[in-house]
Amino acid sequence: MQKFKIKRDDVVVVIAGKHKGQTGKVVRVLRDREAVLVEKVNLVKRSVRAQQGRQGGIVEKEAPIHISNVALWNAEEQRPVKVGYKFLEDGRKVRFDKKTGQSID
């Protein structure tokens, strides 16, 4: 299985497709589909049947976006981030911004 540079709770920006330019927090990473669910981005409407304790009707929810179409977002500098990996002196593996060299984790 492939290692992804984007994790749950990261803030990402959509860099390609219909929702280009929108930012949001990653709700879930779908490893088998190589996709992510981004909060309030790529919303679709689905009809759901009423179940015990839940009313039926039309519900809006997030649809998956391919992981190649999103990039980590740096809110301070207002730009997408290219992510790399490096090992610290204590042996930990951390993500870092390739432009500034600053650690992300």
Tens-place pLDDT, residues 29-82: 999 999 999 999 999 999 999 999 999 999 999 999 999 999 999 999 999 999
**Residue 76 maps to a domain:** yes
Which residues have CB under 8 Å from 78's CB, separation 6+? none
**Residue 16 maps to a domain:** yes
- Local confidence band at 2 (pLDDT 50, 70, 90 cut-offs): confident
Q: What is the reported pLDDT for 1?
A: 64
The DSSP output letter for 42 is: S
**Residue 5 maps to a domain:** no
**Residue 85 maps to a domain:** yes
Query: How many structural domains comprise the chain?
Result: 1
**Residue 68 maps to a domain:** yes
**Residue 52 maps to a domain:** yes
Whole-angstrom distance, CA of residue 53 vs CA of residue 44: 23
Contact between residue 86 and residue 80 where contact means Cβ atoms under 8 Å apart: no
Indicate the pTM of the whole model: 0.88
User: Which CATH number does the domain housing residue 23 bear?
Assistant: 2.30.30.30
- Local confidence band at 16 (pLDDT 50, 70, 90 cut-offs): very high
> Radius of gyration over alpha carbons of the chain, in Å?
17
Q: What residues make up the domain containing 50? A: 11-97
